[in-house]
Amino acid sequence: MTKPAKFDVAIVGGGPAGVSCAIWLKQLGFNPVLIEKNEICGGLQLLNAYTNTWIATSANAHGKDVAAALQANIERHEVQTRMSTTAAEATLNHDGITIRTDADEVIKASFLVLAGGVKPKGAGFAARIGLLVGPGPAVASSDFTGQRVAILGGGDSALENYRFIKNRGASLVHVYARSLRARAEMLEGASPDDIHVGSYTTDADRNLVNGEHYDVVVVLYGYEAHKSALMGLEPLMRSDGFVFTDKDCMTSIDRVYAIGEIAQRAHPCCVTSMADGVVAAKAIQRRMEASKASQFLGAVKRLGRVAAMAAT
């Protein structure tokens, strides 16, 4: 049997949160490993078809530009990685976590950081031609010229895609929201006639919303944690489908942290995800250094007792 690879911290997910955490841990003097299912880092930024104007240091950066920068930095800092690898199962031990990958590798770490694994909320809708679930490439690559489009959802993503689809030549775009949560700025470009707030009925098989037929229905109910990303662990979950964490990003399971989209501790975006990575890295640093200090103090005390015995 192959000897397990040992690391201080195993980080599962190579998006902005995971890469940030890995780089900080490496620069703090620890030995992290980043496990990522894709060939390159980037996370949801690999699927981001829009220009990101919200990152202060990267004005007008496209999602793929952000992903490329994450990959370049993980390489620059020489963080050990397991790319194109899925962390399939995690087991808790008295001294840490054992992770088994789909490459039949066993990885042991003192701490585990969950930094990926979200999926668009489908609410029972199955994606197909004419019915799109979630934002990203499926929406960005579609030709909406002359199409009648219904958007289900009332958040920022729904209103952002409302404008995007209208600019793609749709003949009409209607937004159906049980409650409107989008920022006021997002609503400014929307026609009140296009927005329905309150209960509504859908017939997914016939693309009917409130009895009205649409060529395309786009379901934008946000994201939720993907069960497979928990690797068999059972941390406490929030009512909105994300992993519950404390102020240090630790889950209800000791030594297991959750950062970025899977925890959604703040408004979900690149910057808050990267900040989560820093918070978790520093929390882990404090615990690891406290443990080393305790071990060192124990050794000093033992030596002190030996010296006292020798003196007598």
- Asked if residue 13 lies in contact with residue 86, where contact means CB atoms within 8 angstroms, the answer is no
Please determine whether the domains at 5-119+223-301 and 131-219 fall in the same fold group of CATH. yes
Distance CA 31, CA 35 (A): 13
Q: At 227, list the tokens.
A: 């069960």
- Amino acid identity of residue 311, one-letter, is A
Q: How confident is the model at residue 53 (pLDDT cuts 50, 70, 90)?
A: confident
Q: Using only C-alpha atoms, what is the Rg of the chain?
A: 24
pLDDT at 298 over 80: no
The rounded percent of the chain whose pLDDT value lies above 90 is 67
* 60-95 confidence digits (pLDDT tens): 888 888 899 999 999 999 999 999 999 999 999 988
pLDDT at 303 over 90: no
pLDDT of residue 249: 97
pLDDT of residue 295: 62
Identify the CATH class of 5-119+223-301: alpha beta
| Mean pLDDT for the stretch of residues 182-187 | 85
Residue 146 backbone zone (phi > 0: left; psi -120 to 50: alpha; other: beta): left
- Asked if residue 237 lies in contact with residue 243, where contact means CB atoms within 8 angstroms, the answer is yes
Q: What's the mean per-residue pLDDT of the chain?
A: 90
pLDDT of residue 121: 86
Distance CA 44, CA 19 (A): 13
pLDDT at 278 over 90: yes
- CATH number for the domain running over 131-219: 3.50.50.60
In terms of Cα–Cα distance, which of 268, 15, 25 is closest to 155? 268
| Mean pLDDT for the stretch of residues 208-223 | 95
Structural domain boundaries of the chain? 5-119+223-301, 131-219
Q: How confident is the model at residue 185 (pLDDT cuts 50, 70, 90)?
A: confident
The DSSP bridge partners found for residue 92 are 97
- Amino acid identity of residue 70, one-letter, is L
Orientation angle between helical segments 63-76 and 16-27, nearest 10 degrees: 20
**Which residues lie closer than 8 Å to 182 by C-beta, 6 or more apart?**
154, 155, 156, 158, 159
Q: At 186, list the tokens.
A: 């997002």
pLDDT of residue 71: 95
pLDDT of residue 17: 95
What are the DSSP E strand ranges found in the chain?
Answer: 5-12, 32-35, 51-52, 61-62, 80-82, 87-93, 96-101, 106-114, 118-120, 131-133, 148-152, 172-177, 195-197, 202-203, 208-209, 212-213, 216-219, 223-225, 256-258
Q: What is the pTM of this model?
A: 0.79
pLDDT of residue 247: 96
- Asked if residue 183 lies in contact with residue 156, where contact means CB atoms within 8 angstroms, the answer is yes
